[in-house]
Amino acid sequence: MALRSAPIASKAFWALRALADLPPRSDLETYTRLGWLFSRGWPRRDGRFRFSFGQIEYVHALSLLSQFECIFLDREYDVALPTDRPLILDCGAHVGMATIRFKHLFPRARIIAFEADPAIERVLERNVASLGLADVTCLKSAVWIERGHHFFRADGADGGHLAPADGGLSVPTVDLADYVTDTVHVLKLDIEGAEMDVLDHLDRKNLLGRVHVILCEFHIRSASDNVRLGSLLVRLSAEGFRFSLGWARPAPYLAAEPDPTPFPALPSGALALQFYAWRPAGAPVQ
């Protein structure tokens, strides 16, 4: 991956600050330090990292670098809301980077952070506690369409996902509809392929009308997923949402059904995309 660069003199100064265990003073300094973890050949190493806001644990250095770039540098989850005390559902919270960013934006927010991987959820809980984040509830559960248990395939990073019955470990699941009992100001979904199932479920329960903003990473693995996404967009529009894409890119790494295209630059229809949906200013929420 291409790393953002800084002047050599700055990097030397930052290296001295890192050796002295001083917190970074800018996002670029933070990103440079994270890049050192990656460039030293530790993409899968776990450990601790000192941010400007405090020290947290991480489980995978490359994932931490990617999340910091998306969430703190590119500000993919930054949002303007009609209240300073929103309810935020962070579905697929990992070690807590999005939760931390939401708390920076909305210190009085109430956040429910769901993480399916039991080992990563323990790290999430420790990070929330060590940073003293108030009104954050961490749940060791996969977000799904019903309460119970489901097989989950962990990858030790940020790509763990619900799996068929013949693979993975059994993890508890929650019915997300149980948490949409009042206005949800931000519904963030990064649940590795289960997003459309969950949004379809909320739609069938007539609960999308209670959601103000949706931040979602979709994984399109098949031609049928394309059809489902088109249907979902129609229904979101009927519910009063506007929507857009932050980015979309081919995702040959996804376990996907063969879906050839006529484009040499896009050999498969498998893709990942960052999706935004919101209600216009002044639009009513149930």
**Averaged pLDDT for residues 205-228:** 92
Does pLDDT of 162 surpass 60?
no
Extended beta strands in the chain, E state = 47-51, 54-58, 87-91, 110-114, 136-139, 142-144, 148-153, 161-162, 169-175, 184-189, 211-220, 242-250, 260-263, 266-268, 271-278
pLDDT at 68: 95
pTM: 0.90
pLDDT in tens, 62-116: 889 889 999 999 999 999 999 999 999 999 999 999 999 999 999 999 999 999 9
pLDDT interval class at 278 (50, 70, 90): very high
pLDDT in tens, 218-248: 988 888 888 999 999 999 999 999 999 999 9
pLDDT at 67: 93
Homologous superfamily in CATH for domain 79-278 = Vaccinia Virus protein VP39 (3.40.50.150)
According to CATH, where is 3.40.50.150 located in the chain? 79-278
C-alpha span between 84 and 160 (Å, rounded): 32
The amino acid at residue 94 is H
Instruction: Give just the sign of the alpha carbon dihedral 192, 34, 245, 279.
Output: positive
C-alpha span between 258 and 270 (Å, rounded): 8
Task: Choose the most confident range, by mean pLDDT, from 32-36, 73-77, 193-197, 248-252.
Answer: 73-77
Range of weakest confidence among 90-104, 167-181, 272-286: 272-286
